[in-house]
Amino acid sequence: MGMLELRHRLRAFAIASAALGVLAWTATDAAAHGGGFGGSPGALPMAPPPPDAAGGGVGAGASGASGRARGRPAVAKAPIGAPDASTGGVRGGSRRASRGPTTGTPVTFLPDDPGSSTPVSGNPFTLTLRAISWEDWWFANASAYIDLVPRLDAMVVSGGAGRLSSRGRRATTSFRPDRETVHTVILPALRQLLADPDSPPEVLEAAALAIGRCADDETTWDAVSALTPMLHHESQGLQTATAVALGALRSPTTVNAMSNLLVDAETLAHAGGTVPWTVRAAAALALGLSRQPSAVEPLKEAVTRLGESEREIRIAALIGLGLLGDERDPGLVAFLVQVMREQADPALRGVAATALGRLGRAEALPALIQALDDDGAPIVVRQCAVLALGRLGKLGDGQSLPRLITTLQKERDELTRHHAILAVAHLASRRGLGGEPADRERTLAVDTLEREIRKPTRKSNRPWAALAAGILGRARADTRESLGEALLERFEAESQRSVRGALALGVGMTGLPSAGPVLMQELASTRDEALAAYLALALGLLRHGDAADLLAARCIDRRSGPPVHDEPALGLAMLGDARAVDEVFYLLQQADHPQHLLPLARTLGTIGGSDHVRPLVDLALDVTQHTGRRAAACLALGRIGERDAQPWHVPISEDHNLALDLPLVDAVLAMR
């Protein structure tokens, strides 16, 4: 997403690269070496985790995170379990940090040498938690709340010269490509790239992920046949991307291969050498993404049998179990509850709580409430359990909503409080048990969010309450007017730019019609580019058609920053106006800097249509083009041809506790 996406994406890359102990290229280094999205494959020796003879069961612990971050700006942190007077017990480290741009631009999708997962010396269960802002949360979760693809199916497309300067328009009834175009144009081109031995690893990574996003039941076999050889490539980043892509196919044919990768560290990569731990962890995520019942046992086995030195793989396996959905394995809930209660490692316990919430099984509710009520539980477990409770609880059950409200009002850990605010919205968004108790609790939820918007218990609650109000108003028509008016009233009175951005997004999600002119006037007058970005998205969410010309003018600002501001482009697309699309494609053809290529590719993939499929294919296949530009074209093709309305990463990012320092998950989510 333009400036906002770039700022957060670069931060994610920096965190992942630093925490994995990788010397990622900076943008300057990339230019000096001919550009591109990544360094030379295999430049550093592979360093898989050492085998652990001790093994471990559900009650066994796991080591501290591998490769502590080096060179990253410090955030206030303390080991979980350390006493802290300010929180009255266990410290969560959830403190606000500076959100400035990261210096030095890593330019690879995944680090090619992630280092070792050998436990660090000292307390094996030391856990670092990152300070998380509402902007971080929005960046990770926005895709779940921007219903863009259905609107693109009946978009108004630019005519004439095909640039923003052209005011002519023509209507089309099928802007996004149909499945035949995906089958006959996009996928064959991507497979051609994988089959070419001269394709650079950066292009191969992007092509592999695009295949995982685009292929459907009709093309699964061809996709598996094209992707599987990439697991043997010398580039560890490509191996990892390929494993994720195979999982994204959601095919039962991939389960055996991913299971073997996960549990057997001596079979595949580098001419029979050890499978890197990142590939094994990616295989665990892939098994979860596959949503196949046969994936349950391999993932459970990884959690119980792998040892302390393979902590990241066990965490990935727990995440995978949560991604399986409502698979009726009779023992899965009990297994995850046991991990959440008995593991010595707080990270595994927290991820198990998240997995319980994602599974959606009501029998997990008592265990989650108990975890939230346990003042002695590690903060990370409470942070995860409160979000899970918002997914599993029912309005009218007399216990879920009262506990969430108590948490948001009295909890001393900032992020647990903020998660409770979001959980109130998730809980109230669903139907509940029905009858008067559920209606009474929904009214209580609305009143609670309005109070946190107008007179919050703590000032830091306000932007999170704004997002929560938007989530609830988006889901429930009977709450939109009340919540929308509270948000708009506070927006007009608020002076802090960051909070105004959250309020704008919240009112945009509610769809309050009267907010359109107010936000439009603010966008026309503001000089704050970050606020302008949120205002543009909010106007798109509102479907405020009068803002189309203003958004079109805001898309291109050649005076500063990236050559295209794609929040206005996304807002324009949400209005059903494609004037920005051709301009974004034109700029993609000219760009050669990763800071421009990545957001341009993301934007074009999100708002681009069938008219751009063949030009993007030509760009991806053209060996005379800049490597990064070819990879960007593959990224855009993957999103344009994606088989689902929401991007593939949403199941992983939704309700993920961003405070957890999980480098591989950060890197995988950065691939989206």
Whole-number pLDDT of residue 326: 66
Q: For residue 230, what is the DSSP state? A: G
Whole-number pLDDT of residue 155: 55
pLDDT at 156 over 70: no
Whole-number pLDDT of residue 111: 41
Q: Residue 272's pLDDT band (boundaries 50, 70, 90)?
A: low
Write out the H or E segment, with its range, that includes residue 441: helix 435-454
Residue 320's alpha-carbon distances to 65, 67, 270, 323, in angstroms, are 19, 23, 26, 5
pLDDT at 348 over 90: yes
Whole-number pLDDT of residue 403: 95
Whole-number pLDDT of residue 434: 77
Whole-number pLDDT of residue 145: 84
| Single-letter residue type at 404 | L
Q: Residue 375's pLDDT band (boundaries 50, 70, 90)?
A: confident
pLDDT at 123 over 50: no
Phi, psi for 157 (deg, rounded to 5): -105, 140
d(CA 488, CA 469) in angstroms, rounded, equals 11
d(CA 80, CA 532) in angstroms, rounded, equals 38
pLDDT at 115 over 80: no
pLDDT at 126 over 80: no
Q: What is the mean pLDDT of the chain?
A: 78
| 379-389: burial string, b at 16+ Cβ within 10 Å, e else | bbbbbbbbbbb
Beta strand 169-171 pairing with 156-158? antiparallel
pLDDT at 536 over 80: yes
Q: Who has greater pLDDT, 100 or 233?
A: 233
Query: Of 111-120, 448-457, 516-525, which range is least confident?
Result: 111-120
Whole-number pLDDT of residue 187: 98
Whole-number pLDDT of residue 297: 93
Whole-number pLDDT of residue 487: 98
Whole-number pLDDT of residue 435: 84
| pLDDT digits 0-9 by tens, 2-35 | 444 444 444 444 433 333 332 232 233 333 333 3
Mean pLDDT, residues 419-429:
97
Whole-number pLDDT of residue 146: 80
Q: Residue 596's pLDDT band (boundaries 50, 70, 90)?
A: confident
Q: Residue 608's pLDDT band (boundaries 50, 70, 90)?
A: confident
pLDDT at 396 over 50: yes
Query: 3-state class of 158 per DSSP?
Result: strand
- Which range in 121-135, 580-594, 609-623 is most confidently predicted, on average pLDDT? 609-623
Query: Of 91-100, 190-199, 433-442, which range is least confident?
Result: 91-100
Structure-block tokens of residue 466: 């704004």
Mean pLDDT, residues 347-351:
96
Write out the H or E segment, with its range, that includes residue 89: strand 89-90
Cβ count near 79 (within 10 Å)? 17
d(CA 152, CA 580) in angstroms, rounded, equals 13
pLDDT at 170 over 70: no
pLDDT at 134 over 90: yes
pLDDT at 413 over 90: yes
| Single-letter residue type at 4 | L
Whole-number pLDDT of residue 148: 64
| Contact partners, residue 85, CB within 8 Å, separation at least 6 | none
Q: Residue 421's pLDDT band (boundaries 50, 70, 90)?
A: very high
Structure-block tokens of residue 467: 């997002």
pLDDT at 161 over 80: no
Q: Is 515 exposed, middle or buried (0-12, 13-18, 19+ CB in 10 A)?
A: buried
Residue 221's alpha-carbon distances to 87, 216, 247, in angstroms, are 54, 9, 13
Q: Work out the percent of the chain whose per-residue pLDDT is above 90.
A: 54
Longest dimension (CA), the chain: 70
CB 421 within 8 A of CB 431: no
d(CA 182, CA 664) in angstroms, rounded, equals 30
Whole-number pLDDT of residue 69: 31
| pLDDT digits 0-9 by tens, 323-338 | 997 666 889 999 999 9
Q: Who has greater pLDDT, 309 or 104?
A: 309
| pLDDT digits 0-9 by tens, 210-268 | 999 999 999 999 999 999 999 989 898 999 999 999 999 999 999 999 998 898 755 55
Mean pLDDT, residues 138-158:
68
